[in-house]
Structure 1
Amino acid sequence: MRILILGGTTEASALATLLSGRSDFSPLLSMAGRTSDPRPLPIPTRIGGFGGVDGLAGFMVREQIEAVIDATHPFAAVMSRNAAEACAQARVPLLALRRPPWTAQKGDRWIDVVSMAEAVRALGEEPRRVFLTVGRLELPPFAAAPQHTYLVRTIEPIGEALPVPNVIAIQDRAPFDEAAERALMEREGVDVVVTKNSGGAATYPKIAAARALGLSVIIVARPEKPRDVDEAVSAEAAVEWLERRHGRTP
């Protein structure tokens, strides 16, 4: 069974590992290419876009794709919409592998916002030390608030994405450790954390560390994604879905 995995998440990596070496599946992992040095995975991998809905649908037809797993980032709304439309066009079954969002726990001091622009406004006018963990592509809106000092953590170098006077850039990638996150926030004198509600365990330690330190967390809500598709919350559940689909294949 020829499978296309739209990746970029730990769930996609876990699914690739589960499917590797199986004779009944032939998976292909597709990555957007935003990270220059992605971790190697044990299945064939392609890098780059498809050219919109029509390009993706055409790719599925040419490659004889029999099922698609959308395991993209929770904030990759455009890709998820394209996948849903392309699968409908090509008549290929689609499963959305979506990790649950984080939910506030006792002691959390969350400020819920719906956009990066609203997150910038929520920082206020008084200068603060901000731990900014929203990804390199989401940094430009924060240039509108240059009075703050930004501790920015990204996988890739930020370049000129945040042209403000006081920026401390850290390059690192998940998974992270709660004790290390707490030590980092204390050492840098962080006043507030800004993050997306990505969900998952790999980056949750910053949420737990902020709670332990009594810090506010400005948390950006997820964008809407197509709801009329099959969903799973784990790589194991995605494999079960594929096995059921494969069992129906003549």
Structure 2
Amino acid sequence: MLDYLPEEDGAVLMARSYVPEAKVGSLIEKKTEGLGVDRVDSRTGSIRRVEAPDKNAFDFIADGHGRVRVMGLWERKDSGYFTSQYKYLYRPADGGGWRQLSIYDWQSETGFKPVAVDPAKNVAYGYERKDGRFALMTVQLDPGLEKKLVYANPDVDVSGLVMTGRDRRVVGVSYVDDYRHTAYFDPAALSMVQSLGKALGGKAVHIGDLSADGQRALVWAGSDVDPGQYYLFDKGARKLSPIMPIVPNWQGAHWR
């Protein structure tokens, strides 16, 4: 699943592996091969090709609003065998052909590896080593390819993104030491988490998801001695409503 197409009702973008087909006794054959992108209508079952399949492609990244902006390709040797390098291409905001974004070597773990796109900022989020640890970076999706550091931890690798809404907007990162942590860098998300944490007596708060307009949020709140529960936060009404405890009937028993 590449894109939930929030502006549409019931359709999604999906990566699809095309395999050549031929039938004995038939002159009809399908020669398309490789990974492509289709728009699938979940109500009617209709399928429309969005990106033609490429036999060297292994990844596509959409922008959360129906546009495929990044493609990952395996690099091949002259012999035809794959190398240890991935070549990433990007498509400019105004459309057109693919342009080179970065080279990532999975063997040496060097280079920029894109994982998400923010269309409002026109950047690709991705991982790259900084002082020996994987950090989250952005690269501008234009010919300048300006690179900026978003978040780094000197002790551990950044291991995941925090994404919200049907458009899967990036609002933070996660990393693991003794247990998993979340760090928010999106100003609105960070402000919400900090305000709710104070209102709930200093508990840790994590955003599970946001409505399309950002006015309602599904959040979890808990601590080392409290398994916590989920709440629905209505930003406009400034109302926090309990939805579901993580451990039913826990009722304040000491959590070890």
When normalised by structure 2's length, the TM-score is 0.23
Structure number having the greater strand percentage? 2
Which structure carries more relative contact order (alpha carbon 8 Å, separation 6+)? 1
Rg bigger for which structure? 2
Structure number having the greater helix percentage? 1
When normalised by structure 1's length, the TM-score is 0.24
